Chains A and B, each alone.
Chain A
């Protein structure tokens, strides 16, 4: 069973860069699939942030693309998210995910447990 685990600071100050890492177990991220980040502000809905293909191509939400960067570390079987210039509006549970895309569909088949990031001074 594929397992994903987010890690990173739970509290960050406004205007800094938020960095999160997702460690994947029981599957090599270089084999196939897209790998992504999705967030959920407290008591609100889900917002897709970005995907990265196992070949390294990245795709970003149009509303966040000016502040977001995804990358992979194949030696550690990890992928990461950086979000610049954070504000209180970026407070959310951040999920890392495996995204299964084929000719007829594209959906999240495995999720991490999520990590709460609070932006506050």
Chain B
């Protein structure tokens, strides 16, 4: 099974700061990576799929980078509404086996 390791596990930053979250896979993924944001008490919502394609409505301050085993999600200018926990997720398209990173909790100072 492919293991996904996210870092940091939590980050506290101020409004306007640049925040970068890293996701490392135990083997190459090509572009089969997605990123989700989860608010407390709610289901996760996809931000990015296919490593770099933004879901409709996702602000442009969210961007991604990397390929194969190392990926990043960057919030260029942190906003108050960006608090929550972010997860990366990999999948083999066939068979459709998914796995998630451990999550990064983003807090606003």
In-complex Cβ contact of A105 among B34, B87, B99, B100 (8 A) = B34
Number of A-B contacts (CB under 8 A): 79
> Which residues on B sit within 8 Å (CB–CB) of A108?
34, 36, 44, 46, 89, 98
A34 within 8 Å of B by Cβ?
Answer: yes
Instruction: Please determine whether B98 and A106 come into contact, CB atoms closer than 8 angstroms.
Output: yes
Chain A residues 36 to 61 lying within 8 A of chain B, measured CB to CB, are 36, 38, 45-48, 51, 53, 59, 61
CB-defined interface of B62-85 with A at 8 Å, one 1/0 digit per residue? 000000000000000000000000
> Which residues on A sit within 8 Å (CB–CB) of B51?
105
> Which residues on B sit within 8 Å (CB–CB) of A121?
none
Instruction: Please determine whether A107 and B31 come into contact, CB atoms closer than 8 angstroms.
Output: no
Minimum distance in angstroms from A57 CB to a CB of chain B: 8
Known: A62-B1, A103-B93. A113 touches B99 (CB 8 A): no
Say what secondary structure dominates the interface of chain A: strand
What band does the interface of chain A fall in when counting residues whose beta carbon is under 8 Å from B?
Answer: 20 to 34
Known: A95-B43, A112-B43. A101 touches B50 (CB 8 A): no
In-complex Cβ contact of B32 among A47, A105, A114 (8 A) = A105
Known: A45-B103, A46-B100, A59-B97. A106 touches B44 (CB 8 A): no
Q: Could you tell me which A residues sit within 8 Å of B by CB distance?
A: 34, 36, 38, 45-48, 51, 53, 59, 61-62, 95, 99-109, 111-114
